[in-house]
Amino acid sequence: MAVAADVAEPMAASGDVLGPAVRSRRLRPWKNPWRRPWILEGFTWLYLVWSILPIVVAVIFSFNAGKSQSVWQGFSTRWYWGNPLTSVFENPQLRQSIIQTFRLSVLTTIIAVPLGVAFAIGINRWRTRTATTFNFVMVFSYVIPELIFAVAMFFLFTQLFTSIHLGTAAEVLGLATWNFSWPAIIVLARLVSIGPSYEEAAADLGASRLQSIFRVLLPLLMPAVFASAVLVFASVVDDFVVVDLLSSTANTQPMSVLIYSSTRGGNSGPALNALATIMLVFSFVVAIFGLVAYRWMTRGERGSSRQEALTTITGM
């Protein structure tokens, strides 16, 4: 009994009272089969490769020296500049599509963002029972298909508002209406997250309603306004359905419509790859710039109220 007590005492002191077999099992870490989901991780990488690889190939063949899109014939920048007939920056039609894309993006952003901000502020101030119903206007572009919306806008400008002819004006109005939801939703989320305390403090200090909005509220909303402007700008760059139905001549076709129409007509070539590469780089640069600028403008802020803002919006 004394010997057993002498042996059990150091084992109890060390915390091991279950024997060496159990101790060895305890020392080995328990392997959770869900800790490394190899199947899900492999599927994710497969999806990324499947999505990005065709884009990489198209970009590479935009620098092909020959006209082939399947056989590499050497490196050249002839499809970007250097040839008045085939180069993107020297061919009048291709160059005009770039200018038209930039024009539509800028004009749509200038129109849609202020309207979306004003709509978000109005909805946030609207305290009636019908406000919940009208909140669905913000998700208008997410409810109906873009093709149906584009057809409706086409008949609107050709049958009802005939003074607005198809072309740049119709394209800008259609794109502004379609992208109206981006600034409305993003700015409303920002309004819900910051709350009314800042405006109430400004009112207590003697500021009028307009002074509270322009000197207190709008500076707080600037990160959301900037983010929504970037999203609208990038969305217009690669939009196709709306601008395809509302464009009139070749001078009002942006890059997306020109690429589709040329490919469908059998005129595809490395020049279109170069045009698509420019559109890709254009969207990528805008998105990266917007992300970096938004993170810089919101530095020091914590996302504790983001869940509350999203819950408030989605529960309307």
Name the packing angle between helices 92-125 and 218-237 (round to 10°): 140
Q: What is the mean pLDDT of residues 284-299?
A: 82
14 token code pair: 């060390």
Does domain 95-314 fall into CATH 3.40.640.10? Answer: no
Confidence class for position 33, pLDDT limits 50, 70, 90: low
Q: What is the mean pLDDT of residues 214-218?
A: 85
Model pLDDT, residue 169:
92
Residue 309 φ then ψ, to 5°: -65, -45
195 token code pair: 């709350």
Q: Residue 62 CB: number of other CB atoms within 10 A?
A: 24
Residue 224 φ then ψ, to 5°: -70, -40
Closest CA to 290 of 105, 143, 121: 105
Q: Each residue of 225-238: pLDDT tens digit?
A: 988 999 899 889 88
Q: Each residue of 43-53: pLDDT tens digit?
A: 888 988 898 88
- Residue 124 CA to residue 315 CA, distance in Å, equals 14
Q: What is the mean pLDDT of residues 187-208?
A: 84
189 token code pair: 């989320």
- Residue 278 near residue 98, CB atoms below 8 Å: yes
Model pLDDT, residue 101:
92
164 token code pair: 């607005």
Q: Residue 304 CB: number of other CB atoms within 10 A?
A: 8
316 token code pair: 């309307």
- Residue 262 near residue 94, CB atoms below 8 Å: no
266 or 301: which carries more pLDDT confidence?
Answer: 301
Q: Each residue of 110-136: pLDDT tens digit?
A: 999 999 998 888 888 776 666 666 666
- Residue 198 near residue 134, CB atoms below 8 Å: no
- Residue 241 CA to residue 151 CA, distance in Å, equals 9
**Average pLDDT along the chain:** 79
Above 50 in pLDDT, residue 315? Answer: no
Above 70 in pLDDT, residue 8? Answer: no
Cβ partners under 8 Å of residue 74, min gap 6: 64, 65, 66
Above 60 in pLDDT, residue 37? Answer: yes
Confidence class for position 213, pLDDT limits 50, 70, 90: confident
Confidence class for position 307, pLDDT limits 50, 70, 90: very low
